[in-house]
Amino acid sequence: MEADLLILGAGVAGVYAALAAEERGAKVLLLAKDPFPSGSTPWAQGGVAFPLDEEDLEAHLQDTLRAGRGLVDPAAARSILEEAPRHLERLRALGLAFHPDPTREGGHSRPRVRHLGGDRTGALLLEGLRARLKAPIREGWTALSLLLEGKRVAGVLALGPEGPVAVRAGAVLLATGGFGRLFPVTTNPPGATGDGLALAFQAGATLRDLEFVQFHPTALPSGALVSEACRGEGAVLLNALGERFMPRYDPAGELAPRDVVARAVFQEGLRTGGVYLDLRPIPRLEARFPTVVAQARALGLDPLREPLPVAPAAHYAMGGILTDLLGFTGVKGLFAAGEVASTGLHGANRLASNSLLEGLVMGHRAALAALEDLAFPQNPEPLPVLAAPPGILPSLREGAGRALGVVRRGEGLAAFLRFLEDLPLEERPLASRAELEAGSLLLLARLMARGALEREESRGAHFREDHPKEGKPRHTLFRKG
């Protein structure tokens, strides 16, 4: 198999990138390890944040900067937000009928989040994009490592239905999503194991700010998410005593930034024994949030009659592979877009619904940039695969939940790091999918714990009980060797 552009991952970033490359006449190969629809994209409920107009662009930028607590790159954020309206038009031209009235979500000063099919935005967006794609999505293909010749990436070693295959390409775009599966309670799908970050790390790319993982404040006991848009439309948080507590934590109440709400939910849960989300104030609840209602009913709960038990769950990786504003990783032939990347848009805390937007804008840009610099070296060789025994995962997750959760402490992080150093992480010529995933998660746990321990401050999604104040803004960078 050979292609001009090899795209790994069929979420919003990968599929939108493939469309852009096909429009330029390129030969595209799109591999995904799970059957379509895969990744976090089809699970996205709330919507996509698009600035409403020129004036709102400034307000959207300010909201993004405020949420990101000093670590958003203002130039990157401005550039992505400026391009957003063009993509809304393009999506509409492709037949995606966003609801005419935008919704307001936490951290946004105005209603500017566009949704499809009530709370089915991600699923309908992805299906709508896929329907316009000419190339098939090849499912059941797991990228194990990158092929390299000299210092240039020239394809991947992938595990296909019939075994390992070296797939050559003029450029590779990583669109493999995040790593929420490091945590015991997460809103992320089973494939969110951070493989793309491990592949890029092995090839010499820089990873940035991995310690910033956003915890969604309101997940059901199953990990299913209750969209922030519910709070935007009137749902209130109650503690086990039946008290509405958010106004005590933040003047914006239930619509405070996610990190503030997640910590408040965590603390009120500890203090009173539980936290509940009351959806009954939402008019026409079942029509507006059909997925949420169905997910609650699947657990035997009835949101039309009773408040739902909720808790914070690992949700979104703000950090990722450092890229420029064209999705270039600094390693020749290697690009990254979507949740796997760190462009500087999210800083220490992502503003709700900015991630699908980033996947669209950066997927499109990265595809075009990659096509500008294709090369086909003769004899690329696969890099070693990072692998670990899948049996480590239960204790790895339990430890991550304790040490790297909503509230962190230095001793807990140091102890977790010592535990991680004793777990076997090997470089091998080949591995199974399960071994690759365990290896990726172990690598990320080590880097993240180191970043969280060294960051002796509290900022955005990173809260250190032993260092509760914000220090000087700085990034954490991780490189192999």
Ligand X SMILES: Cc1cc2nc3c(=O)[nH]c(=O)nc-3n(C[C@H](O)[C@H](O)[C@H](O)COP(=O)(O)OP(=O)(O)OC[C@H]3O[C@@H](n4cnc5c(N)ncnc54)[C@H](O)[C@@H]3O)c2cc1C
Active-site positions read 258
Structure tokens at 128: 């709508």
Applying CB under 6 A, which of residues 349, 353, 458, 476 lies at the interface with ligand X? 353
Note whether 175 binds ligand X by CB under 6 A.
yes
Least Å distance, CB 455 to ligand X, is: 23
Note whether 106 binds ligand X by CB under 6 A.
no
363 vs 412, beta carbon nearer ligand X? 363
Q: Which stretch binds ligand X (CB under 6 A): 174-182, 249-257, 413-421, 467-475?
A: 174-182
Applying CB under 6 A, which of residues 26, 39, 118, 431 lies at the interface with ligand X? 39
Q: What residue has token string 């790297």?
A: 404
Note whether 145 binds ligand X by CB under 6 A.
no
315 vs 464, beta carbon nearer ligand X? 315
Compute the distance between CA of residue 342 and CA of residue 447 in angstroms, rounded to an integer: 15
188 vs 342, beta carbon nearer ligand X? 188
What ranges make up the beta strands (E) of 150-244? 152-160, 163-174, 207-208, 213-219, 236-239
Note whether 225 binds ligand X by CB under 6 A.
yes
Note whether 291 binds ligand X by CB under 6 A.
no
Interaction pattern, residues 311-350, with ligand X; x per rule: CB under 6 A = -----x---------------------xxx----------
Compute the distance between CA of residue 17 and CA of residue 104 in angstroms, rounded to an integer: 28
Nearest to 40 by CA among 222, 216, 225, 177: 177
Least Å distance, CB 165 to ligand X, is: 12
Are the CB atoms for 311 and 184 separated by under 8 Å? Answer: no
Least Å distance, CB 121 to ligand X, is: 6
176 vs 323, beta carbon nearer ligand X? 176
Note whether 41 binds ligand X by CB under 6 A.
yes
Least Å distance, CB 111 to ligand X, is: 14
Q: Which stretch binds ligand X (CB under 6 A): 96-104, 233-241, 352-360, 450-458?
A: 352-360
Interaction pattern, residues 45-84, with ligand X; x per rule: CB under 6 A = xxxx------------------------------------
Note whether 34 binds ligand X by CB under 6 A.
yes
Are the CB atoms for 118 and 47 separated by under 8 Å? Answer: no
Compute the distance between CA of residue 18 and CA of residue 15 in angstroms, rounded to an integer: 5
Note whether 239 binds ligand X by CB under 6 A.
no
DSSP type of residue 346: S
> Phi first, then psi: what are they for 226, rounded to 5°?
-105, 110
Are the CB atoms for 188 and 180 separated by under 8 Å? Answer: yes
The answer to whether the bond into 37 is cis (omega within 30° of 0) is yes
Note whether 12 binds ligand X by CB under 6 A.
yes
Angle at 30 between CA 24 and CA 31, to 5 degrees: 165
Give the C-alpha distances (Å, rounded to integers) separating 311 from 96, 161, 265, 308.
Answer: 33, 38, 7, 10
Give the C-alpha distances (Å, rounded to integers) separating 317 from 123, 187, 217, 320, 371.
Answer: 20, 12, 15, 7, 27
Least Å distance, CB 88 to ligand X, is: 13
Least Å distance, CB 170 to ligand X, is: 18
Q: Rounded to 10 degrees, what is the CA torsion of 190, 191, 194, 195? A: 140
Least Å distance, CB 207 to ligand X, is: 15
Q: Which residues bind ligand X (CB under 6 A)?
A: 8-14, 31-34, 38-41, 43-48, 121-122, 141-143, 175-177, 187-188, 191, 195-196, 225, 316, 338-340, 353, 355-356, 359
